[in-house]
Structure 1
Amino acid sequence: MTTFANSLKTEIARVARKELRDEISSLRKASAAQRSAIAVLKKEIKELQGRVALLSRAHHGQRAQESAVPRPQALAGKSRGKPGRKVIFSAERLKAARARLGFTQLQMAQLLGVSALSLWKWESGAAAPRASRVPQILERLALGKREALAMLKATDA
């Protein structure tokens, strides 16, 4: 009886291996096809990344050329925004302009004709200037460093 059980056991194992071999071969074929598709996609990604880098460099080069062309200064008394749009005061813009000019809060306050405390409140966002003063403030923020220094010296004298 042991020989019968052993032979049955080996026959079942052989049939199972034969069935698994067919299934495994189809899985191997599918896996190989997917690996080749992945390789093609990776090549496409690499090519597209190269194109993006090239276009990015060309775009940055264009921007550098545009920034090298001098832009006309805004006329005094004219709003730099689009016509018909309300000009909005921004604390970040005020801080950035002060940093660009390299002024202390006291110097910037003197340039704008306000107290240092008012300027500090405007920069911190605790307060905003009156609407009637905003165009004048934005006009002075648009000044270059030399113009601002000259205006500051003129107010000191």
Structure 2
Amino acid sequence: MPNIASILKAEISRVARKEVRAEIEVLRKSSVAHRASIAALRRQVDALEKALRRAVKGSAGRSVAPEADTAVDAGVKRRFSVNRLAAHRAKLGLSAATYGKLVGVSGQTIYHWEQGKARPRAAQLESLASVRELGAGEVAERLESL
């Protein structure tokens, strides 16, 4: 005949395991939810850091005029062509120094751009674009005002 103490001990042990298992299941579910939210937060932090690096890299060393800043923010992407710059300057019949005054840079910078030794910055591209939109008469007026 089984000992009542051993039966009672076995039953208490079984009920305790059942209770512990139920509590552990609740903890597991909350742990999984917390890990998922932590992973989502890490992805969000990584995306924000990446965007910050891009923003810092894009704005480093660049002093943009307010007019050019709005065009850059509006998504206008300017392209630069050495041949078009030289052709436009020749069409207007201007020296590199004079053309540089219109754009807001030195004549030497215009020569470097035309030879492909350097490339204009975003603000300078905006200045070049505004000069390209001018006609010969407007260019003469602007040169007189400078």
What TM-score bracket applies, with the shorter chain setting the length? 0.3 to 0.5
**TM-score normalised to structure 1 length:** 0.44
Higher helix proportion (structure 1 or 2): 2
